[in-house]
Amino acid sequence: MWREISIETKRMRSARCAMVCAGMSKASWFRPDLLQGRIAVVTGGGSGIGFEIAAAFLAHGAQVAIMSRNDARLEEAADTLLKRTGARPLTGACDVRDEPSVLAFSQRVTRELGTADIVVNNAAGNFMVPAERMSKKAMTTVLDIDLVGTYTVTRAFVPGMIEIGRGVVLSIVIPEPERGFPGFSHAGAAKAGIVSLTRSWAREWGRYGIRTAAIGPGPVPTEGVARHMFGVSVEEAFRGAAERVPLGRLGSPEDIANAALFLSSDAAAWISGALLAVDGGASAASER
């Protein structure tokens, strides 16, 4: 009996996974005007999770600005977003480590779109290296992009949020940064620092009507993660990963975008300083 149930459960999981892979997850659970009148900035918006968050925001009524270091990728992403959603985001080619360019882009966003009231810190740099072989340059590079870059972008847009009396700051991290990130200790330290910033900002900026939250994606196969973190193909990088997820499948960028939509909306009006693990239960199932 239990064998039959197990087989049927696997069949159901496979069917759900096939639906996601076939793009059937595109239908939104949210009303189309969920973010009407909102202005969002998404760093790392040219590809992967950042791209899907930008697409979800545009599809639900927000005006969106996307940032990336790669101008050609940004323009390609903007054209794709226009075809997919009917709206084209504002684009800005700048490095989150370059404070003057970030400030200049924040001023451009205000000038062309209005005051941003959603910021998604998604830009990140990462690569696998054993801790005993990690150079100081490797450590500081990732900290500068992930941790300091999150500070720099947030600091550029928060004064406008304070002025209008509302805002949401979301940051993409990992599900349990306090447990470390073996093989990626520089990124683990950065993500833990971002969670600390998220909680500090929630306490400091709540009086201004600003909410903060972090999203910790589980295994989400993207070309960027496979290439930059592991240096291999998507298939090789994530082989066997679904077996460690209680819900039986890998995540998709749309899963993370749905979380970002919810946390940015008024439905999450009393959520601040939180870290939301979006990982199919993987962190709950991991060894303690």
pLDDT exceeds cutoff 60 at 85: yes
DSSP one-letter string for the chain: -HHHHHHHHHHHHHHHHHHHHTTGGGS-SS-TTTTTT-EEEEETTTSHHHHHHHHHHHHTT-EEEEEES-HHHHHHHHHHHHHHHS---EEEE--TT-HHHHHHHHHHHHHHT----EEEE---------GGG--HHHHHHHIIIIIIHHHHHHHHHHHHHHHHT-EEEEEE--S-GGG--TT-HHHHHHHHHHHHHHHHHHHHHGGGTEEEEEEEE-----HHIIIIIISS-HHHHTTTGGGGSTTSS---HHHHHHHHHHHHSGGGTT--SEEEEESTTHHHHS--
Token pair recorded at residue 17: 């996974």
pLDDT exceeds cutoff 50 at 79: yes
The residue that leads in pLDDT, 75 or 8, is 75
Token pair recorded at residue 214: 């972090």
**Of 255, 2, 25, nearest in space to 10 by CA:** 2
- In the chain the first and final C-alpha atoms are separated, in Å, by 31
Map 232-255 to HEC letters. CCHHHHCCCHHHHCCCCCCCCHHH
> Cα separations (Å) of 27 from 22, 23, 30, 254?
12, 9, 9, 10
Choose the weakest-confidence range: 61-75, 118-132, 232-246, 253-267. 232-246
Torsion angle of the four alpha carbons 173, 209, 258, 115, in this order, in degrees rounded to the nearest 10: -90
Per-residue pLDDT averaged across 94-110, rounded?
A: 97
pLDDT exceeds cutoff 90 at 287: no
pLDDT exceeds cutoff 70 at 10: no
pLDDT band at 224 (very low <50, low <70, confident <90, very high): low
Task: State residue 285's pLDDT score.
Answer: 80
CB 214 within 8 A of CB 276: yes
Provide the CA 15 distance to its chain's centre, in angstroms: 26
Looking at every residue in the chain, the average pLDDT score rounds to: 89
pLDDT single digits (tens) 14-54: 444 444 443 334 668 899 999 999 999 999 999 999 999 99
pTM for the model: 0.88
Handedness of CA 30, 172, 74, 19 (dihedral sign): negative
pLDDT exceeds cutoff 50 at 155: yes
Task: State residue 277's pLDDT score.
Answer: 97
Per-residue pLDDT averaged across 115-135, rounded?
A: 95
- What domains does the chain contain, in order, with CATH numbers? 33-279 (3.40.50.720)
Task: State residue 231's pLDDT score.
Answer: 57
Choose the weakest-confidence range: 67-81, 129-143, 156-170, 210-224. 210-224
Task: State residue 44's pLDDT score.
Answer: 96
Percent of all residues in the chain with a pLDDT value above 70, rounded to a whole number: 85
114-134 burial, b at 16+ Cβ within 10 Å, e below that, comes to: ebbbbbbbbbbbbbebeeeee
pLDDT exceeds cutoff 80 at 236: no
pLDDT exceeds cutoff 70 at 208: yes
